[in-house]
Each structure stands twice: as C-alpha cells, then as structure tokens.
Structure 1
Amino acid sequence: MKKLKHFALSAIAALTVTTAVADNVVPDTVDFTIPFGVGGGTDVWGRFMAPNLTAHIDGNPTIVIKNQPGGGSITGTNLFYKRAKDDGSNIIGTSASTLFPYMLGDKRVRFKLDEWTPILASPTGGVVYVQPDLGIESSAEVSELLDQELKFASQGPTQLELPILIALDLLGADVKPVFGMKSRGAGRLAFERGEATIDFQTSSAYMSSVQSLVDAGKAIPMFSVGVMNGAGNIVRDPAFPDVPTFEEAYETVHGKKPSGMQYDVYRKFLAAGFAFQKVIFVPSDAPSDVIASYNDAVRKMIADGNFQKEAAVQIGPYQNAVGLDIAQYLSDAVNISPEMYTWIKDWLKSEFNYKL
C-alpha cells in the first residue's frame, strides 16, 4: 500500500505569498493534461474550466487541453508526472479514477500526489437508479431490491463505482456486476438497452441523460450519495433534494444508521471520489508566485457570478474549492489506514476475485 505524504504542508508553504502575486507570472501557454478521451466527463469538465480559468489569470494565458487516455487515466497521469515542466506551464485534471488506484496501491501507478499542489477541486454527487420492471415505484420501496438479482454494467471494481458497490453490499443487495465498460456512459447505455437493471451516474450525467428517463417512467431513482456538510455529515444533495441519501436508504432497510468498518471505508472512498471528484494539480516545484497566481485566479473565478450560473448547469449546484483551502482535506481523503486497506483488499478478493 502506498501512503501519501502530506503534500498539504508543502502546498500551504508554497502559497504563503498570495498577498503579493506579480502580474503575468503564469506562462503564456499552459498545457492542461486530461488523462481521458475526448467527450468523457473529465474532458467536458476540463473544457469548461479552461476558458474560465484563463479569463481570471493575469495575462490571460492560452490553456490548451491535451487528452492522453489509457489505463483508466493512469497512462496519461504517469506521463504527466514524468514529463511536466516545473515552470507552471503544465497542469493536470484528475478524477476519482485517478485517485482510487493511487489509494489502492495499483502497481501501474508511477505518479506521486505528494509532489503536486492542488489548485482547484470540483465536487459532485450521484444517483443510483433501477429499471421499473423490477416492480418498484419509488425509493420508499428500496427493500424490495434485496430479493432480486441486480445486473450492473461497471467499468471495474476499483473504478468510480467502488463506493457504490460497497454501498449496495452494505444494503444487502444481490448485485451481479459485468465489468469492462469503457465509461459510465457505456453503463448507462447498457441500462437503456435493458441489459442492466441497476445503474449509477454522477450528477452532471444524471441531469443530462437520466432525468429524462425518470420523467418518462423508464428509470426509478433509489438513492443518492448525498453531499458532506461542514460538520462532516452526509445530507441530501441540493441537485436532487427529493432523492434520499444512501444513509436514509440503509435506515429504511435495516432500521438503523450504517456504521462499522465497511461504512468507514465507504465514506473514505466517497470523500476521495466525490468531494474531490475532479482536481487540477500543478507540480509543487513550480515557482511559488506561479502557484499563488493560479490560486488567486481560482478564487476570483469561483466568486464570479457568471461562472457560478454556468457551473450550476454544467456540474451541478456544488461549491468549487481553492487548492489552498482544500489541500489538507484532500491529503486526508486519499490516505488509507492499514486496517482499511486490509479490509478493502479482502473484500475485493472475496466479492470479485480481484487481487490488489
């Protein structure tokens, strides 16, 4: 298992100069690596963020998207780690699919998060939904799922669906995943074709592609992953206020709130995968005034009323965060205790014959 050094400390140290950011310290051209293919969720997010970030950086540098797909984002991220310049002209956008392999000690991972500084984090939510022919009319009937085999078209047991698979197991659902989907969008299409009876999509994909199915009676939302409030409690997602959280669904089924090691592991991956679903990093050895300029730009951007309106449509009603403000939280989120690592390793082996 890899342990993440506290990159938050170096990030905070590097950003102590934010009160005196010089003009035009960010290079005129910035390559923005997206380690996924064109048209995917991270690509769409990156292409939304790039011009908004440009508009708020002094000198308005040109930010060029560089798609480098492969290995579920590991290929492009490894290349960025190996080749990124330390002058601030290279940044990368990661997803849960990037953080999870790092957390799980995937042998393909060559990058080191403790050598990068976060400058922006975009949270998201997500919803689990089922086919109406399962005989369920609303989320209040979630208990009825436990008596049926549920087919789930999934990318893989350590991809974005990991906390969803843990949650469904906690509920006691009989899930039969079919791994190998190239994206969550491919999983949704399998659901639409009737090949899957249960599916999960993040907020933006749900709003753009699934809500219409719900409105047409072709999908029934069961629960959302919710959002974490300032007190660390999971509450209903503001994008889906009428959809109960997983915690509410669990209490409906079992008559008590979830607890124990499995739930702790679920919350760990939920935090890393959703509270920090998309993160922009810059190499930590970039000049401190460059990193400060990026963070100053992000702060201005997320305070911009026009950006807030556009972001609500593009990524949902969630609060983007500045790297300086979230560095320690992100560090905590991607650190796995030995006990948690042992649990998830054993669970993946017993449930899916997947060996870390």
Structure 2
Amino acid sequence: MTISKFTRRAIVGMIAAAGIAAPAAAEIDYTGKTIEWVIPFSEGGGSAKWANFYAPLLSEALPGNPTIVVKFMPGAGSTKGANWFQNQEYKDGTTVFSSSGSTQFPYLLGDPRVRYEYADWHPVLASGTGGVAYLNPEDGAKFDGSANNLKDTDFIYGSQGATRLDLVPLLAWEMLGMNVEPVFGVKGRSDGRLMFERGEANIDYQTSSAYLGASVGLVEAGTAVPMMTWGALDDDGNIVRDPTFPDIPSFKEVCEATDGCETSGESWEAWKAFFIAGFPAQKLLFLPKGAPQEAIDTWVTALEEVKARPDFAEISAKRLGIYPQMTGETAQLALDSATKVPDDAKAFVVNWLKEAYGVELK
C-alpha cells in the first residue's frame, strides 16, 4: 500500500497556497470583549505554547482588540474538551477551540469516546509542526545514528494513549526494535516531559513548539540527548529532515541505519499515513458550529494580518519552528487531509493497537 499521489499533492498544494489572499474585513467588533481560547490539554505542552504565541498577536489584529485568554480543559487524551466543544453553538464569537493530532487520531480510528464531528466546525488556522524524540544521557551515549545499541534497553515513556498522537512515536520505536513501555494516562506532553525530568521516564518526545520552549533547555543542560525527528515532507511527498532541526536525523534515516527496520511495506506506509495526518496540519483553530461567514472572514483577515507582520517569520520560527501557517480555504484543505487516512493504513494500525496494547476500537 502507498500514500496516494492525491494526498501528496494536496499537502504540497496546501503549503503552496498558504499565501492565499485574505477576504475583505467583516463588520464585527470585539471591543470590550474577552475571547476564551480552549485547549483540550494541560498547560505547558505544545498546543499551549502555540496558542499563547498567537493569542496576543490576534488580540492586536482582531477588530476592537479583545482580550484573549487561553483556557485548558484536559482529559481523556483531549476527547473531553473536543466533546464539550461539539455542544457549543456560535453566539458572539467569544469562544474558540483548538485540536491537535491527538484529537484527530481518535476521530480517524473510530474511538468510542469521540462525540465530535470536525465537519461541524469552522477552521480558520492550521499550523504544521514536527516532533523530536530524545533520550537520557546514559542511553543517548549509546546512540550512533541507529537504534542497534538501544535494543537491549528497557525504556519507559509517559504517554497520553496509544490512539493519540503518541501513536507516531510508539510505532516508530517498535519498528526500530526498541522495547518502550508506555505509562498511559498523562494529560499532556508536558506531563510526559516532567516524568522524563524526574527520572521516571528515560525516553520522551515533544512536538516542535514544546521542544523549542522547554526540552531544548534539557539538551543544553546535558540531561537529554536528541535521537531523531519525525522529519518533514518534500514537494514529492518524501520524508526529509525537519527544516527546524536540520542537525537531527529523521526517523527515516535512523530506520535505514537500524537492522531490521524497513522504509517500505505495511508498517512504513501506515506510519507515514498517520504522520501525514498528524503533523503537516497538526494544530487547528476553530470557530464553533453556526459561525456566520462574516465571523469566519474576520478571523481569517486578522490571521492574515498577523502573518503579514514584518517580524512574523522570525518570531514564529523561534517559538513554533519553520512550518506552514495556513488560513481560510487552505486551513480547510489541511483539515480535510488531517482527518483522512487510507483504509489499509487504518486497518494496519487498528490491528497493531489490539496486538501491542490490547486496545479494541469498535
């Protein structure tokens, strides 16, 4: 099985179209209002850092300069917050919501806890991201660009759940022949990082914004050693090095250097399908169902104004990494790509979840 040319072209097309012209400004005024931006994770993770980056910029750009407060609603691997948002109706535009790959994967896999429908929401922003896996210093000293010297080590990893975005690192580590035991139930990736910092875990992964915001400090202090990124997609849909971390090898490179790991076949195609669903459009900002077009246009116009700032490329690269920031119609295309995977990739992952973790999705 292979990722279709349509999927590859759609991803590339979204990136190329990220500069699409903004619609005309709408007659909506948020003067004196407070907008609640709800994140379905705990504070301190990549989604929190992403929202906290955009919130003050949007406060300046939205008409009336509203106060934007980021609120956290963790639980059930983000499905609690998403289910709550599904029940919200547009009133005055003061409630918005963000999902991530950890919200998209349960939807893709038919998790019975999912009570939300992406088609009911209105995406105004989609941000690509990457991810970095890292080791403690003892095991990092054994890493030589392959996982060959890590196969006899027992690893502990703080995980939100195998049906969440953690699916990508867990499957990658298994393909490398590593013995990684997940401790399920952490509310966000920041909690997994804290386990690593306390020595309760000896392997971790963070999305790019969280890695840049917190984990880089661990590397600089010598308490963490980068292992690999998940990579990025080039124009032909191939996995290449992540441009945010050009000095860290991609999973594809580590797999090619590791005995028994293959970058072709069912495992690879399934991993790549979920990587594409989870990272090129990893974080999305939504208005609730029932939002009028003028409200959608207002947010898209504000986001385009933010992206047009002369300092945006520099400040976003430092806080979020070097990834596309897609608005309006391109955000909708990104959502479409993020909520679809080939049937054979889904079937492989559903079977793997059952065999590896006893997770049955009905």
TM-score, with structure 2 as normaliser: 0.84
Which of 231, 240, 244 lines up with 2:245 in the alignment?
A: 240
- Are the counterparts in 1 of residues 79 and 113 from structure 2 also a CA contact under 8 Å? yes
Q: Which residue of 1 aligns with 2:219?
A: 214
Letter in 1 for 2:26: A
SS in 2 for 1:32: strand
What residue ranges of structure 2 are gaps of 5+ in the alignment? 1-9, 11-19
Q: Report the equivalent of 1:22.
A: 26
Q: In the alignment, is the contact (CA less than 8 A) between 2:146 and 2:258 conserved in 1?
A: no
SS in 1 for 2:311: helix
Tell me the CA shift for residue 135 of structure 1: 6.9
Aligned partners of 1:250 and 1:221: how far apart in 2?
Answer: 15
CA RMSD of aligned residues (A): 2.7
Match of 1:31 in 2: 36
Which residue number corresponds to residue 300 of structure 1?
305
Q: Who is 1:128 aligned against?
A: 133
Q: Deviations over 1:293-328 (max 9, x none)?
A: 211221221121233333222222323111311322
- Which amino acid in 1 is paired with 2:177? G
1:305 counterpart SS class:
coil
Give TM-score, length-normalised by structure 1: 0.86
Q: CA deviation at 1:17?
A: 11
Contact 1:138 1:220 in 2 (8 A): no
The residue correspondences of 1:191-340 to structure 2 (distance < 5 A) are 191-254=196-259, 258-283=263-288, 285-340=290-345
SS of 2:113's equivalent in the other structure is coil
2:347 alignment partner in structure 1 = 342
Greater Cα shift, 345-354 or 166-175:
166-175
CA distance in 1, matches of 2:39, 2:140: 41
Q: Which moved more, 1:239-248 or 1:133-142?
A: 133-142
Distance 2:137 2:260 in 1: 25
Q: Which amino acid aligns with 1:245?
A: S
Give the residue type in structure 1 aligned to 2:337: D
**1:74-111 deviation line (CA, Å, top 9, x unaligned):** 22221221123255443211122211111111212111
Query: Is the 2:46–2:208 contact (alpha carbons within 8 Å) kept by the matching residues of 1?
Result: no
Counterparts of 1:338 and 1:257 in 2: how far apart (Å)? 21
Conserved? CA contact 1:138–1:221, under 8 Å: no
Could you report, residue by residue, the CA deviation over 1:240-288 in whole angstroms, capped at 9, with x for unpaired residues? 1111000111111149861222222212222232222211012353221
Partners of 2:293 and 2:82 in 1: CA distance: 23
Residue 157 of structure 1 aligns with an amino acid whose one-letter code is A
Shift of 1:127: 1.2
Report the residue type matching 2:209 in the other structure. S
Structure 1 match to 2:73: 68
Residue 323 of structure 1 aligns with an amino acid whose one-letter code is G
SS at match of 1:58: coil
Mapped to 2, the partners of 1:256 and 1:75 lie a distance apart of 36
- 1:54-78 Cα offsets, whole Å, 9 max, x none, are 2222333343434333222222221
Q: Can you list the C-alpha shifts for 1:23-81, whole angstroms capped at 9, x where unaligned?
A: 43668633322223344432332232122112222333343434333222222221221
Could you report, residue by residue, the CA deviation over 1:118-155 in whole angstroms, capped at 9, with x for unpaired residues?
11112221111222323735442432122333222222
Identity %: 41
**Secondary structure of 1:80 counterpart:** helix
Partner of 1:97: 102
Displacement of 1:348 after TM fit? Answer: 0.5
The 5-angstrom pairing of residues 51-66 of structure 1 reads 51-66=56-71
**Structure 1 Cα separation of the partners of residues 87 and 325 of structure 2:** 28
The number of equivalent residue pairs is: 342
